[in-house]
A and B are shown apart, each in its own frame.
Chain A
Amino acid sequence: MKKKILLVEDEKALCLLYEEELSREGYDVVAVHDAEAALAEIGRTAFDLIVTDIRMPGKNGIELITQIMGLRKDVPIIINSAYQSYKEDFMTWAADAYVVKSASLDELKAKIKEMLGA
């Protein structure tokens, strides 16, 4: 069965890119643009992995992760951010991995593969 990934990304073009590329890798991807929509999806579906941005309008990625921890502790989370500097921030330690956004999606794909063991 296909692994389910929740993708949270406010940039519409990037969201489309990630959704298509991860689907090509054989994942079942649900893409949303903000934290509220992400929480609603988590309430409906048992995801195997969550990939989220940090800087988003409304609730940011860190607040989203804190709330996810209260709902589903077992789901691995990857932060995918344009900010290199947040990588060293302890606030991001709750996530299982941190990937800096890059035109090549190889690192993100490799990290997802590693986490899902597939």
Chain B
Amino acid sequence: MIDTYNILSPDFERDAPRELMLLSIISQSFFQPFSLEDNLLVILTALTSGSGVGFNRAMLFLKQGDRINGEMWLGPRSAEEAGLIWEVLSTPGIGYVEILEHNRALVAKNQDTLSGRLKGLVYAADEESALIPAAAVCRKELLHVRDATHESQVDRRFLNLIGVDEFLCVPLLARDDVVGVIVLDNAITRTPIAPADIKLAGVCGLMAGNYIYSTNLHKKLLEMEKMAAMGEVALFVTHQLRNPIVAVGGFTDQLLKPDLPEDKRKRNLTIIRDEVRRLEDIIYQMGHFLKVSLKEPVYFDPGPVIDAVVNSPDIRSRAVEHGLSVKIDPCPPEILCDPTSFGEVLRNLLDNAFDATSPGGAVAIRGYRRNRTSYILSVRDTGKGISNPDKDQLFRPFFTTKEKGMGLGLPFIKRVMDTAGGKIEVHSRVGKGTIFRLTFNFREREPNP
């Protein structure tokens, strides 16, 4: 027998150890599509909510280059405010999500006052003599400070801001680096910080540090990928534009020569006109690909869109040469995609299929439910097929096997499918043909009343 459990299930028994609940909440939030800022707030919330460690307030400092900057403040500003906040948070039925939402509002409220003053605190990250709280980053150690007023190692500006004598500095460690520090205190309840809370806060610090580290790394990677893609775009555009420009320039030079016969003069002008049109087309296609922002996917009936594409004059005229068969489920479900992009995807796939197929070949569209969650739309042709090395590059922008192609159709389709949470697969045999299979999420239609 095999039992399965949802890895993200947040439901713990009421008597589950609070440490387990806390770590579970933090690790689950890292799976959510939250922003870095929201996830940092989750960490601070976990450290300050009653169901978490239960500190009164949390302050986050992040390391940027060789500086440590105050970033975010979470917690009440006074005992009165604390009373109000805790009254809200202890309302029966309030869950973690509500607490997080509440805290987001609290951070926004504190933005001008405490967070603003916290953001004014900047420390050098690599100084041996760094003052607390920055010292926790340099020393990579948890620092539990008591009687702070008489501690010369504590920065006075920081002390003036938090106004308490006891606090805990938790360095955010990740691999061989430290990405910041969280300062925790019990300014409202004045409860002493217990050793068990220090240990648990340390584990939270490790999780937070690794989360921030990997998020920063991911950001850098995306940036690098973007730069590489930009380089490729620049290279391709250079080539695409240079050829027609050379033709226009070269044939114009010939026109300027006095001995050019009249027939060649006309021919040159025709070539120049055609090449300028080509330049316009390249610029249009580039602009369309680079600028087009995809709309949010919605559930819709694909039947009418498929009909509209298949019956459009250009597709119909090409279908006459090749033959086009369409077999769609008579009552298709509503699939998840932007309808306009879906139409463009189908048009692109049909154009490719017709381009690859000699007259007399066949192109077929099929639409059917694969299982309870996936709807398939496939476009098959009996064309020349795609070789294996080419298959690996199909979705790379500017890769094309066509003489006049830009190589932007399939990358566009891939973007549409990614945005819709679907996928695209290709199966091909050289000399036999190709099938592109799109998988969409779907929901059954509401029965007509």
Which residues from chain A sit less than 8 Å from chain B, CB to CB?
10-11, 13-14, 16-17, 20-21, 55, 57, 82-85, 101-105
Contact = CB atoms under 8 A, between A and B. Distances in A.
B238 A83 contact: yes
Given A17-B251, A57-B401, A103 B243 contact: no
Given A10-B403, A21-B250, A57-B403, A101 B271 contact: no
Nearest to A21: B250
B253 A14 contact: no
B403 A82 contact: no
Nearest to B257: A24
A101 B238 contact: no
Contact of B247 (A10, A11, A20, A84): A11
B248 A103 contact: yes
A62 B140 CA distance: 55
Interface in B232-263: 235, 238-239, 242-254
Nearest to A57: B403
Given A13-B275, A17-B251, A82-B239, A101 B246 contact: yes
B448 to A, nearest CB: 53
B274 interface: yes
A21 B239 CA distance: 22
B403 A103 contact: no
B242, B245, B250, B251, most chain A CB atoms within 10 A: B250
Interface residues of B, number: 22
Given A20-B254, A21-B250, A104-B249, A85 B235 contact: yes
A10 to B, nearest CB: 7
A103 B241 CA distance: 12
A82 B271 contact: no
Contacts of B238: 82-84
B235 A17 contact: no
B239 A83 contact: yes
A103 to B, nearest CB: 2
9 contacts: A10-B403, A13-B274, A17-B251, A17-B254, A57-B403, A82-B242, A82-B246, A103-B249, A105-B250
B246 A103 contact: yes
B238, B242, B244, B274, most chain A CB atoms within 10 A: B242
A21 B251 CA distance: 10
- By Cβ-Cβ distance, the 4 closest A-B pairs, closest first, are A103-B249, A82-B242, A17-B250, A13-B247
B239 A103 contact: no
Contact of A11 (B243, B249, B252, B254): B243
B229 to A, nearest CB: 16
A52 to B, nearest CB: 15
B301 to A, nearest CB: 40
Interface in B196-254: 235, 238-239, 242-254
A14 B254 CA distance: 13
Contacts of B249: 102-104
A21 B238 CA distance: 24
B341 to A, nearest CB: 29
Contact of A82 (B243, B252, B253, B402): B243
B235 A83 contact: yes
A107 B244 CA distance: 18
A37 to B, nearest CB: 14
